[in-house]
């Protein structure tokens, strides 16, 4: 059985994290003592007087006993005189945990902090991070997980995921699984790794184009258009990927080792391996032609006149020419 202290106070303005801590303690307590060994005081029952009564009441439960108290942020110092007598010391084989969801003037009273310390307990603050402090917080949590994020990469993660700390932690845990070598992760990688599903499909479309998978490229283009993606935006991302593939092919032609090229790509390991393989197979000449065709298509679309239907047709024809091209340029 885990070792439990006589008392805990978990307080702060990160209410989501406090709820997680409460749920986790409840699970551990029920595993250790069974449901009959856990008493929960919440709502109108969560008063200092009710806690004193619970600590003073004999129970028939065998083994450790847990008392979980919600709403301690509503208490006042002057209300805790009776609790001081009941808690110092806490009865044997008993753990009491106070949870205070603080907000504005609602704070766990300082006297409760003193009582928990005097009982040999533990106090944890779960405070939300201010928006402007989040990049630094993300970098620090990433380092704890063995992931290197500089300030720009951390800021990119916040922009993609939002300011909820729990969601950011989940994304950092995913990055830790993907990058266990502690190498730095750049903003571009963050953009791709944490991109919404639509952006992932755009990258898949561009990769299918580079890899000469015409059927997959057409299917992905139609799916993206069906969900409202603009042709101009798709052209941009496709050109970006083809340009990167061209740079890879040119580097390989110059005799640079694939491992060195991979280090410069700043993308997930498997994605980098796939891009290098596709670029090597396509060759610089074919990728250069593909880039030229995308540039021509962009110029044509900027010339005005064509409607959405003709834009789609022009893009489908371009995908067919690029994905269906071979090394001879046929």
- The CB density around residue 241, as the number of other CB atoms within 10 Å, is 21
Note the pLDDT of residue 253. 94
47 and 60 housed in the same domain? yes
- Size of the chain, expressed as the number of residues it contains: 330
96 and 174 housed in the same domain? no
Q: pTM here? A: 0.46
Among 186, 190, 159, 188, smallest CA distance to 174 is for: 190
Q: Tell me the sheet residues that pair with 142.
A: none
The total number of structural domains that make up the chain: 3
308 and 267 housed in the same domain? yes
109 and 149 housed in the same domain? no
Contact 314, 301 (CB under 8 A): yes
Note the pLDDT of residue 62. 66
Comparing 189 with 18, the larger pLDDT belongs to 18
Which of 40-44, 196-200, 256-260 bottoms out in mean pLDDT, i.e. has the lowest? 196-200
Sign of the alpha-carbon torsion through 235, 240, 241, 246: positive
150 and 86 housed in the same domain? no
Q: Most confidently modeled of 78-87, 187-196, 299-308?
A: 78-87
157 and 213 housed in the same domain? no
189 and 201 housed in the same domain? no
**What is the separation, in whole angstroms, between the first and last Cα of the chain?**
71
Whether 69 shows a pLDDT value over 90: the answer reads yes
Comparing 202 with 192, the larger pLDDT belongs to 202
Note the pLDDT of residue 300. 67
Whether 327 shows a pLDDT value over 50: the answer reads no
Comparing 149 with 194, the larger pLDDT belongs to 149
> What's 80-149 look like in SS3?
CHHHHHHHCCCCCCEEEEEEEECECCECCCHHHHHHHHHCCCEEEECCCCCHHHHHHHHHHHHHHCCCEE
61 and 156 housed in the same domain? no
Note the pLDDT of residue 197. 54
Note the pLDDT of residue 318. 85
| Separation of alpha carbons 99 and 88, rounded Å | 19
Query: Does residue 329 form part of some domain?
Result: no
Q: Most confidently modeled of 9-18, 298-307, 318-327?
A: 9-18
Whether the bond into 89 is cis, omega within 30 of 0: yes
Q: Most confidently modeled of 22-36, 182-196, 264-278?
A: 22-36
Q: Domain ends where: 193, 221, 243? A: 193
Query: Does residue 1 form part of some domain?
Result: no
Q: Domain ends where: 143, 160, 193? A: 193
Supply the range of the domain harboring residue 30.
7-125
Query: Does residue 320 form part of some domain?
Result: yes
Whether 11 shows a pLDDT value over 90: the answer reads yes
Q: Which residues contact residue 31 at a Cβ distance below 8 angstroms, ignoring those fewer than 6 apart?
A: none
Residue 70: φ, ψ to 5°: -100, 155
- CA 27, 29, 33 angle in degrees (round to 5)? 125
Q: Tell me the sheet residues that pair with 66.
A: 38, 95
Whether 26 shows a pLDDT value over 80: the answer reads yes
84 and 111 housed in the same domain? yes
Q: Domain ends where: 125, 150, 184? A: 125
53 and 120 housed in the same domain? yes
- Banded model confidence at residue 198, pLDDT cuts 50, 70, 90: low
């Amino acid at each position: 059985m885990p070792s439990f202290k006589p008392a805990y106070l978990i307080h702060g303005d990160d209410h989501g994290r406090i709820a997680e801590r409460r749920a986790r303690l409840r699970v551990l307590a029920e595993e250790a003592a069974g449901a009959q060994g856990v008493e929960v005081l919440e709502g109108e029952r969560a008063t200092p007087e009710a806690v004193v009564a619970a600590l003073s009441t004999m129970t028939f439960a065998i083994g450790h006993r847990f008392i979980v108290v919600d709403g301690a942020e509503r208490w006042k110092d002057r209300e805790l005189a009776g609790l001081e007598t009941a808690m110092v010391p806490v009865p044997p084989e008993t753990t009491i945990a106070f949870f205070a969801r603080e907000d504005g003037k609602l704070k766990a009273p300082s006297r409760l902090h003193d009582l928990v310390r005097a009982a040999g307990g533990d106090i944890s603050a779960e405070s939300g991070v201010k928006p402007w402090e989040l990049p630094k917080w993300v970098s620090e949590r990433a380092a704890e997980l063995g992931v290197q994020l500089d300030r720009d990469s951390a800021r990119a993660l916040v922009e993609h995921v939002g300011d909820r700390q729990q969601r950011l932690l989940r994304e950092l845990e995913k990055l830790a699984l993907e990058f266990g070598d502690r190498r730095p992760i750049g903003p571009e990688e963050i953009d791709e790794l944490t991109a919404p599903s639509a952006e992932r499909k755009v990258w898949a479309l561009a990769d299918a184009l580079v890899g000469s998978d015409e059927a997959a490229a057409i299917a992905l283009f139609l799916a993206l258009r069906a969900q409202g993606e603009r042709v101009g935006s798709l052209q941009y991302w496709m050109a970006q990927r083809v340009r990167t593939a061209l740079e890879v092919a040119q580097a390989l032609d110059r005799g640079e080792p694939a491992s060195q090229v991979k280090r410069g790509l700043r993308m997930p390991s498997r994605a980098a391996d796939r891009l290098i393989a596709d670029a090597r197979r396509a060759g610089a000449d074919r990728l250069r032609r593909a880039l030229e065709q995308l540039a021509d298509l962009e110029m044509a679309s900027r010339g005005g006149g064509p409607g959405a239907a003709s834009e789609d047709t022009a893009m489908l024809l371009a995908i067919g020419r690029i994905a269906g091209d071979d090394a001879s340029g046929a």
